Amino acid sequence: MKTNQLLFAAALVAPLAAFAPRLERIAFKPAAGTSLSKTFEVKQSFTMEEAEIKVNGSIQQKPQDVEMSMSMQSSVALTDVYAALDGGRVTRLERKYDALTGSGNMTMDMGAFGNDSRDMKLESELEGQTVIFEWDAEKRTYVPRFGAKEGASELLIPLVEDFDLRGFVPTETVEVGATWKVDVVALRNVLAPGTGHSLRPERGSAERMTEMVQQNMDFAALFEGSAARTLDARFEGLREAGGRRLGVIALSGKVHAQHDATEEARKGMTQPTGGGDSVPEIQKVTVDVQIEVRGELEWDLDGGHARSLRLNGTERLQQSVDLLQDFGGSRVRIEDGSTLSGPFDVVVEFQRNG
């Protein structure tokens, strides 16, 4: 009798188990020795919405007087070897910087102030270099050093180890339809992959483009203290490619960042060439950024790493500059405010080697 009851209970449980939600572990867990080639491609374009210049409180340039368009592209190609791990943490990462490039174009019609069109190309001394990141357990940070070929030590200072997209994945097992929040910090190396890679203008590139491109490379700093700093993630299910199981994650959301860039602007000021006018005295520089993003992340469940990421959306950048400058012995206050907006596209690909 007891045996029959157990069999009957098992018969009831079996169908229920078949319909039970399947939990998946979407986690960063590559095996030691795994080698991945990674490419990050970003395209951005902007047009001027508003622009106003005041000199000693008097408007000198109105929004309708200015037309500007700007486009930027950046490309980062890396080969990462996870040489050693401990408890799921990479303790030794060997990274080769295969390619680091960038370019931009700006056209401007400033009415009575004239027209301008400039191009710029960027390059980095890190290209072709190998950098080893080793985990310092005591300091709780990664310490970078050059591999066989030595380079300038200052190139190492801004480098970061995490180009794994691991900030997008959940911290626990999930079923299809599960949702979670993604901290905006995960977007840092996605929207501005050139950040910290010492991209500099090629010889002969337009000097006037330098500020525009460098501001874009420092874009990650804007996320610090972001007022709206999370994206929505949703597990859409599984798909197969090349015999591997891929977890599909949908991403969407809006982020908003406000940043006081006064100190960065002051550090970047240099004496104008040719003498004459003095260095502007920066009073205040503020930047306000709004980003709307949507996309999809594919995660290799068997390999424990990302496979691809596609993102697109729009950006709106507001900048306000307040400075003092001497012109011919006269102290002049200049206030410059502008708003730019436009679309962006991000394509990230990971490929296993060997």
Give CA–CA dist 308/165, Å, rounded. 9
Give CA–CA dist 178/175, Å, rounded. 6
Is residue 5 situated within a structural domain? no
Q: Are 125 and 155 in contact (CB under 8 A)?
A: yes
Is residue 205 situated within a structural domain? yes
Q: Which residues contact 224 (CB under 8 A, 6 or more apart)?
A: 257, 259
Is residue 15 situated within a structural domain? no
Give CA–CA dist 173/152, Å, rounded. 43
Checking if the pLDDT of 8 tops 80, the result is no
* 301: region left, alpha or beta (phi > 0 left; psi from -120 to 50 alpha): alpha
Which residues, in sequence order, are bridge partners of residue 340?
48, 317
DSSP string, 260-325: E-HHHHHHH--PPTTS-SPPPEEEEEEEEEEEEEEEEEEEETTTTEEEEEEEEEEEEEEEEEEEEE
Is residue 93 classed as helix, strand or coil in its secondary structure? Answer: strand
Span 142-163, mean pLDDT? 88
Out of 5-19, 192-206, 292-306, least confident range: 5-19
pLDDT digits (tens, 9 = 90+) for 268-278: 665 555 555 57
Give CA–CA dist 42/49, Å, rounded. 22
pLDDT digits (tens, 9 = 90+) for 247-274: 999 999 998 888 888 887 787 665 555 5
317 is in which domain, residue-wise?
29-353
Is residue 2 situated within a structural domain? no
Span 69-95, mean pLDDT? 95
Is residue 346 situated within a structural domain? yes
Is residue 19 situated within a structural domain? no
DSSP string, 107-149: EEE-GGG-EEEEEEEEE-TTTT-EEEEEEETTTTEEEEEE-SS
Out of 67-76, 267-276, 321-330, 339-348, least confident range: 267-276
Q: Are 170 and 26 in contact (CB under 8 A)?
A: yes
pLDDT class of 221 with cuts at 50, 70, 90: low
Which residues, in sequence order, are bridge partners of residue 248?
237, 298
Cα-trace Rg, the chain: 25
For the chain, the straight-line distance linking the first and the last C-alpha, in angstroms and rounded, comes to 58
- Which H or E element spans position 210? helix 210-217
pLDDT class of 321 with cuts at 50, 70, 90: very high
Q: How many domains does the chain have?
A: 1
Q: Which residues contact 260 (CB under 8 A, 6 or more apart)?
A: 284, 285, 286
